[in-house]
Amino acid sequence: MAWIRTSISMIAFGFTMAKLFQSLAIAGRLVKGPAGNAWTSQGVGIAFMAIGTAALIGAIFVHRGEVAQLRADGMEARFSLTSAVASVLSVLGILALLAAMVSF
């Protein structure tokens, strides 16, 4: 469950950073990176959304592996709400990522 919270925070932070950098670009104040290149709202927002979505997908695989190990040790099979919520949120994260790539 902690991965779900962290991933949602990163995806939301990506949207927030995208809007911040977008408003800075409109105001004519570009943020320069270490190499002197301007950071764009699209690049920053997409990076955070991609990291959050990738972390969530990775957490799904780790969770399923741990549940499989518990089942091998004798735990009975049952529905995993955590896995279902994480799966739905990862699909939404991918859709948000695609929407950000198209709309910016």
Domains of the chain: which residue ranges?
Answer: 2-103
pLDDT at 13: 83
Give me the sign of the Cα torsion angle 91, 92, 95, 100: negative
State the pLDDT at residue 7: 85
Ranges of residues in the chain with a pLDDT under 70 are 1, 29-41, 103-104
Q: Which of 60, 50, 52, 56 is nearest to 98 (CA)?
A: 50
Structure-block tokens of residue 59: 């957490």
